[in-house]
Amino acid sequence: MLLHESIEKYKQYLITMDKSKETIKGYMSDLSSFQYFLEKKYNCPLYINEIQTIDIEDYLYWLKKEKHLQSTSRSRNLYTLKSFWKYVHNKDFCIKNVAALLEPIKLQKKERVYLSPGEVNELINAIDHPLIKVVSQTLYYTGMRIGECLNLKLKDVSLDT
């Protein structure tokens, strides 16, 4: 089976599994970039069984050196390829899972930057809208996430504590 045919099968699978449109769009973008790289490298369409682990490693190197992608983007590409290869291997479209033994890309943890208490007070005092001001104060004083705050109900709040 040609690579582009297996990518189409994988897309159908993702749709069947009710993956979000954004997830499908991201996976297809990653896989079409991989397909483009391989067709340029070998100057022809490839069968899925012709692709080796070294091809994936070369692709990840290309993403770093030529496309200048950060480690998080390359890690997402690797995850896409691992998921794709797991699918095609489980469906017997290929003989072996060439992505299975690839190590994850090391991600650098970004140091978080926090506002000082004075900066928070300045920010909250600059808000004119009373509801937005209360939401901002609630987020700051409780450490809630925005989604948690938006879904907060009166029955969820213990006014005694």
Q: Which CATH superfamily is domain 3-90 in?
A: Tyrosine recombinase, N-terminal domain (1.10.150.130)
Q: Where are the domains of the chain?
A: 3-90, 117-156
**Residue for token digits 């190197």?**
61
pLDDT value for 49: 93
pLDDT at residue 119 in the model: 92
What is the model's pLDDT at position 161? 78
Give pLDDT, residue 100: 92
Low-confidence stretches of the chain (pLDDT beneath 70): none
In tens, the pLDDT along 80-97 reads 999 999 999 999 999 999
Which pLDDT score, from 0 to 100, does residue 99 have? 94
